[in-house]
Amino acid sequence: MVETGHFALVLAFALSLVQTIVPLFGARLNNQRLMAVGGPVAVTGFALTALSFAALASAYASSDFSLANVWENSHSLQPMIYKITGTWGNHEGSMLLWVLILTFFGALVAAFGSNLPASLRANVLAVQGAIGAAFFLFILATSNPFIRLNPAPIEGRDLNPILQDLGLAIHPPLLYLGYVGFSICFSFSVAALIEGRIDASWARWVRPWTLVAWMFLTGGIAMGSYWAYYELGWGGFWFWDPVENASFMPWLAGTALLHSAIVMEKRSALKIWTLLLAILTFSLSLLGTFLVRSGVLTSVHAFATDPTRGVFILCILTLFIGGSLALFALRASRLTAGGLFHPISREGALVLNNLFLTTATATVLVGTLYPLVVEALSDDKISVGAPFFNLTFAPLMVPLLVMVPFGPLLAWKRGDILAVAQRLMTAFAAALLAMLVTALFISGATVLAALGVGLAVWLVLGALTDLAVKAGLGNVATGIMVRRLLGLPRSVFGTALAHLGLGLTVLGIVGTLCFGTEKILSMHPGETVDLSGHTLRFAGIYPAQGPNFSEDRGRFELIGPAGNPVGEISSAKRFYPVRQMTTTESGIKTLGLSQLYISLGDEGKDGAVVVRLWWKPLVTLIWGGALVMMAGAAMSLMDRRLRVGAPSRRRKQADAAATAISP
Amino acid sequence: MTRKQKRLSVILGGLVFLGAATGLTFYALGQKASYFYMPADLATATVQPGQRIRLGGLVEKGTIQRGQGATVAFSVTDTHKSVKVTYTGILPDLFREEQGVITEGTFGPDGVFVADSVLAKHDERYMPKEVADGLKAKGVWQESKSE
C-alpha cells in the first residue's frame, strides 16, 4: 500500500508535467485534440494524488512505524482520530494535503469547465499543472513522506501534544481549501494574459472560484483563531503572529478581489486591476506557504527546519510570482480599459474598498517581513507585534468599516450620496444611541469602546437597511415587500449577510477587548473568587489518566445567586510521557454569547495553585460572525448568475462578440 | 473634467493615501518594533528604562523563586552574564531550569527586568531560534542540545 502511494505520487508528478506542456502547445497551435488532453489528465492526476494521500493516511491509521514520517509523528496509543489527523500534522503530510487540494481544484475546472472556451480551459489547466509540478517535485525531492526505516521501530515518537486536538481535523484542510483555492483565480489570470484577452464573462467564471476560496479561507482562519484561543491557554484570539499574518494577507487581498471582480463582471471596468489582484492574492498564499513551511519563522507551525526546503520553496515562489508579474507587465497593455464611472458610485465605493484593503495588506506584509529583512541585513533581531498593527492596521480598518453600508446602496455609474445617507439615517441614529448607552450606562467604558460598539451596530443595521431598501420598505405594502424581499437575487442576500457577519465579528472583538476582565491569583481548594459578577469556587485538583497522557484536573464550581453550584468548569495540566511534554487544557464555560475562561498554572509549595481567569463578554461573536460571513459567501454562490460555469449560451455569444482584443 | 484629468486626480489621491499609509507604517516600525537582546548584549546596548525589549537566554539553574501569589522571579543567562527577571502570571508549560526562554517587557528603575510575557519552546525538540543563534554566536551552544 505504501509503495503504491509512493508510486502514485511519482506518476502524479509526471502527469502534472503532461498537463502543463500538452494543453499549452495545443492552445498555441489551436489544436483541439492536444487541448482536450488537459481535462482527463487533471482528473487522473487528482485521483493519483488522492490514492497517495490515502496510502499515507492508512499507514498512520495502522501505526506503520516502518515509515519514518509515521514513526516521528504518531504513537500506537493515540486515539484513532488523532492518528488520522496526524497525517497532515507534520511537514511532509501537510504538503501532500496541499497538492491534493491543488489537484482537486484542477479536476473541478476540468469537470465543470466544459462551457469554457477551449483555449482558455487548456491554458488554465496548464498553469494549474505547472504549480502542481513544482510542488510535486518539492515533495519528492525534499519532503517525501514515504521514506522507509529499516529496521522498523516498535513504537512511534507521538504527535506533538498541542496538535492532538479536533482543531487539527478542521483547521488545516479548511485553510488549504482557501489558500490553494486562489490558485484557480491565479491560473485564470495567467491564462488570460497568455491569451491576451479578458472580458466580463472571464470575471463571471473567476468570481465563483474566488467566493469558494474566500469562504474556506474565512473558515480556516476563524477555526485557527478559536483553536489557538482554547488550546494555548493564553486567552487571546489573535496574536499578530507571522504565521497568522501569512494566512491573513491572502484573506485581505482575496476580499479585495471578491469586490473588484463584481465591478469587472457588472461594469467591465477595473479589468487589469482585478487580474493583478488575482495574481497577488495567490502570490500571498505562496508567500504564506513559504513563511510557514520553510522554517524561517519559529512557531508551532514550523514542524522542522531544513534549509534546503526553504530555498526550494523560495525558488518556486520566485518562479511563479516573478513569472506571472513579468507576463503581466508584457501583456497588460493589450487589455482594454473598461467603462467609465463617476467617483461617487458603486464602482467608486468598491475602488475605495480595494484601496483600503490592499493598503492594509501591505502594512501587514511590511510588519511580517520587516524582522526577516532586518535580520538579514544586520545582526539585530527584532519583533513586530500587536502594538505595530494596532497603530497601522486599525486606522485603515475604521474608515473602511464606516463606508461599508454605503457601498451596496449606491447606484452603479453615478450615485447619489445624499439619498443613500438619508436611507441610512435609522441605522446611523441607532448606532449613535448604542454609543451613548455604552458610554453612559456601562461602567468602565472608554470612548474607544463606545465608538467600537457604535461601529458594530452601524455595520449590522447597515446590512439590514440594504435589504429593507431593496425590498422597498416604506414605499410598498407589506405583502409586496415580503414578496420582493424573497425575490431578491441571492447575491444581494449574500452581500448583506457577509457585511452583517463582519459587524458581529467587530462587536465580539470590541466586547472582549474593551469589557473583558482578567484575574491572576493563587487559590487554595475551597476558596472562592469573584469575576465580573460571577462567583467561582475552586474545588481542588484531581488526577486522571488518558489514553496517552496523565493529567491533573482543577475543578471549579460556578456558584449561583442562591449560593449553590450551577455549573462546573475544569482546566487541566496534561503530561505526555512520550515527548516529556506538558500542555494546559483551558476550561471554558459559555454563558449566552460570552465565556468564562480558566487556565491552570503551577502548584505552589503550600498546595495553592496559580489560576488565571478571564471573563470574555461577547467573545463567541468573533467566530460566529465569521460563520455568518461564510454563509453569505455560500448564499452568493447559489445565485443563478454565479453558478460555477453557468453563463447561458446566448450570453456567451454576446460576450464573445463584445470581447475586446487589441493586438 | 476630462478623462485624463479624472484619472490624474484619482492617481494623485491614491498616491497621497499610500504616502500617508507608508509614513505611518515606518513611524510605527520605529516606535513599536521591539529588539531582542541576550544578557551580555546589554552591556554595550543602550536600553532605557521603560523601553520595550525582548530578553532571551537560558533560565539559570536554581534561580526560580515563587513569591506571593502568581509572581515569579528567575534569572536569564547566556552563561556570560545574567539578568534578574520578575513575571506575574502563568509560566508556559515548557518553562524549566536551563531551558531556552524569551521574555518581553521593560527594565524597571532598579535594573530588574519586568516581563509581561514569557515564551518558552513550543516543542521539546527545539530551542527558540533567537536564543539558539545567540548562544551559537557566544560559543556556548552544543548541537547535541537540540535533540
Chain B residues near residue A520 by CB distance under 8 angstroms: 69-70, 88-90
| Grid cell of A235 as nine digits | 486567552
Going by pLDDT thresholds of 50, 70 and 90, the confidence category of residue A663 is very low
Q: Which of A263-267, A463-467, A637-641 has the highest mean pLDDT?
A: A463-467
- How near does any CA of chain B get to the CA of A222, in Å? 22
Residue A381 φ/ψ, nearest 5 degrees: -110, 120
- Cα separation, A284 vs A364, in Å, equals 11
Q: Is the pLDDT of residue A568 over 50?
A: yes
- Residue with more model confidence, A445 or A273: A273
Q: Which of residues 560-619 of A touch B (CB under 8 A)?
A: 573, 579-584, 599-602, 604-605, 610, 612
What sign has the CA pseudo-torsion A219, A225, A230, A236?
Answer: negative
Report how far residue A442's alpha carbon sits from residue A71's, in angstroms, rounded to the nearest whole number.
55
DSSP 3-state of A519: strand
Residue in chain B lying closest to A305 (CA): B126
Instruction: Output the pLDDT for position B139.
Output: 65
ipTM at complex level:
0.80
C-alpha radius of gyration, chain A, whole number: 27
Element (DSSP H or E) covering residue A58: helix A38-61
Rg (CA), chain B: 22
Mapping DSSP to helix (H, G, I), strand (E, B) and coil, where does residue A273 land?
Answer: helix
Residue A23: cis peptide before it, omega within 30 degrees of 0? no
Mean of the pLDDT values across residues B57-76?
84
In A, minimum Cα distance to B37 occurs at A381
**pLDDT tens by residue, A221-236:** 999 999 989 988 788 8
Print burial letters for A313-346: b (CB count within 10 Å at least 16), e (below 16): beebbeebbeebeeebeebbebbeebeebeebbb
* Per-residue pLDDT reduced to its tens digit, A47-71: 999 999 999 999 999 999 999 999 9
pTM of the model: 0.90
pLDDT exceeds cutoff 80 at B125? no
Sequence-ordered alpha helix ranges (H) in A62-155: 68-73, 80-85, 91-112, 118-142
Any idea which residue has 493586438 for its cell?
A: A663
How many CA within 13 A on the CB side of residue A167?
A: 18
Say if the Cβ atoms of B90 and A387 lie within 8 Å.
no
Q: Is B42 exposed, middle or buried (0-12, 13-18, 19+ CB in 10 A)?
A: middle
Tell me A116's DSSP state: S
Q: Is residue A140 very low, low, confident or very high in pLDDT (cuts 50, 70, 90)?
A: very high
Give residue limits of the domains in chain A.
Answer: 1-164, 166-423, 424-513+620-663, 517-616
Check whether B142 has a pLDDT greater than 60: no
A299/B93 Cβ within 8 A: no
Query: What ranges in B1-147 are assigned the alpha helix state H?
Result: 3-32, 129-137
Q: Does B88 touch chain A (CB under 8 A)?
A: yes
Using CB atoms, pick whichever of A383, A396, A521 lies closest to residue B34.
Answer: A383
Question: Which residues, other chains included, contact A170 with Cβ-Cβ below 8 Å and sequence gap of 6+?
Answer: A223
CB atoms within 10 A of CB A477: 9
* Chain A with chain B: Cβ pairs closer than 8 A: 113
Residues 205 through 264 of chain A touching chain B, CB cutoff 8 Å: 233
Q: How confident is the model at residue A655 (pLDDT cuts 50, 70, 90)?
A: very low
Contacts of B34 in chain A (CB under 8 A): 382-383, 385
Q: Is the pLDDT of residue A618 over 90?
A: yes
Nearest Cα neighbor of A519 from A542, A541, A538, A543 is A538
Distance CA A438, CA A454 (A): 9
State which of A255-259, A467-471, B48-52 shows the largest mean pLDDT. A255-259
Residue A521 contacts B, CB cutoff 8 Å: yes
Chain B positions in Cβ-Cβ contact with residue A599 (cut-off 8 Å) = 90
Beta bridge partners of A544: A551
Paired strand residues for A568: A557
Q: Any residues with CB less than 8 A from the CB of B62 and at least 6 apart, and which?
A: B97
Within 8 A by CB and 6+ apart from A340, the residues are A269, B3
The strand pairing partners of A531, in sequence order, are A534
Question: Which residues of chain A have a CB within 8 Å of the CB of B33?
Answer: 370-371, 382-384, 388
Output the pLDDT for position B108.
86
Instruction: Flag whether pLDDT at B90 surpasses 60.
Output: yes
For the ranges A333-347, A492-506, B59-73, which has the lowest average pLDDT? A333-347
Q: Which three cell numbers stand for residue A224?
A: 485557527
Bridge partner list, A613: A519, A598
How is residue A31 written as a grid cell? Answer: 489544436
| Residue A657 confidence (pLDDT) above 50 | no
CA distances from B14 to A494, B11, B144 (A): 29, 5, 54
| Phi, psi angles (nearest 5°) of residue A239 | -115, 0
A589: confidence class by pLDDT, cuts 50, 70, 90: very high
- Residue A648, C-beta contacts closer than 8 angstroms, at least 6 positions apart: none
A539 touching B (Cβ < 8 Å)? no
Mean pLDDT across B91-97: 79
H helix or E strand, kind and range, residue A180: helix A167-195
The HSE-up count of residue B128 (CA atoms within 13 Å, CB side) is 23
pLDDT digits (tens, 9 = 90+) for A196-206: 888 777 888 88
| Integer Cα distance of A162 and A582 in angstroms | 9
**Distance from the B110 Cα atom to the nearest Cα atom in chain A, whole angstroms:** 24
Say how many C-beta atoms besides its own lie within 10 A of residue A576's C-beta: 22
Contacts of A56 (CB under 8 A, 6+ apart): A2, A5, A67, A69, A87, A93, A96, A145, A146
Q: Which residue has the higher pLDDT, A610 or A12?
A: A12
pLDDT at A481 (0 to 100) = 87
Where residue A302 falls among pLDDT bands split at 50, 70, 90?
very low
Is A144's pLDDT higher than 80? yes
Cα A175 to chain center, whole Å?
Answer: 5
Strand order in the sheet with A581-585: A528-531, A534-545, A550-559, A565-576, A581-585
What are the residues whose beta carbons fall under 8 Å from the beta carbon of B47, sequence distance 6 or more?
B37, B53, B107
Which chain B residues have a beta carbon less than 8 Å from that of A363? 21, 25
The residue behind cell 490515502 is A54
Burial of residue A264, with CB atoms counted within 10 A of its CB: 0-12 exposed, 13-18 middle, 19 or more buried = buried
Q: b vs e for A396-406, b when ≥16 Cβ sit within 10 Å of the residue's Cβ?
A: beeeebeebbb
Contacts of A446 (CB under 8 A, 6+ apart): A514
Q: Determine contact: A150 vs chain B, CB below 8 A.
A: no
Range 108-147 of A in CB contact (< 8 A) with B: none
Q: Cite the DSSP H helix spans in A442-489.
A: 447-471, 478-487
Q: What pLDDT does B145 receive?
A: 38
Question: Which of B16, B34, B35 is the best substitution to test chain A (most A C-beta atoms within 10 A)?
Answer: B34
Q: CA-to-CA distance for B107 and A12, rounded, in angstroms?
A: 57
- Mean pLDDT over residues A246-265, rounded? 93
Contact assignment for A343 to B10 by CB distance below 8 Å: yes
pLDDT of A81 strictly over 50:
yes
Strand extents, DSSP E, A524-639:
528-531, 534-545, 550-559, 565-576, 581-585, 587-591, 594-603, 609-616
- Do B133 and A370 lie within an 8 Å CB cutoff? no
Tell me, what's the pLDDT at B124? 45
- The amino acid at residue A240 is W
Q: Which H or E run includes A383?
A: strand A381-383
How confident is the model over A529-557, as pLDDT tens digits? 999 889 999 999 999 999 889 999 999 99
The mean of the pLDDT values for chain A is 88
Instruction: For residue B60, give the nearest of B99, B7, B114 by alpha carbon.
Output: B99
Q: Is the dihedral of CA A420, A422, A425, A426 positive or negative?
A: negative
Per-residue pLDDT averaged across A118-123, rounded?
A: 92
Alpha carbon B52 to its chain centroid, in Å, reads: 8
- Three-class DSSP category at A482: helix
First to last CA, chain A: 53
Residue A14 has pLDDT above 80, yes or no: yes
Which residue in A602, A609, A611 has the most chain B C-beta atoms within 10 A of its own C-beta, making it the best mutation to test that interface?
A602
Residue A303 has pLDDT above 50, yes or no: no
Q: What is the DSSP letter of B40?
A: G
Q: Is the Cβ–Cβ distance between B90 and A233 less than 8 Å?
A: yes
Residue whose C-alpha cell is 469537470: A111
Residue A227 CB partners (closer than 8 Å, separation 6+): A165, A167, A171
Report d(CA A148, CA A163) in Å as an integer.
Answer: 24
Q: How far apart are CA A178 and CA A215, in angstroms?
A: 7
Contact B89 A387 (CB under 8 A): no
pLDDT (0 to 100) of residue A96? 96
Tell me the mean pLDDT in the region A107-134. Answer: 92
Interface test with B, best of A90, A297, A301, A359 (most B CBs within 10 A): A359
Which position has the higher pLDDT, A201 or A157? A157
Decide if A520 and B35 are in contact by the 8 Å CB cutoff. Answer: no
Strand runs (DSSP E) across B4-144, as ranges?
Answer: 34-37, 53-59, 65-66, 71-77, 82-88, 100-107, 113-119
Distance from CA of B77 to the nearest CA of A (A): 18
**Percent of chain A beyond pLDDT 90?**
59
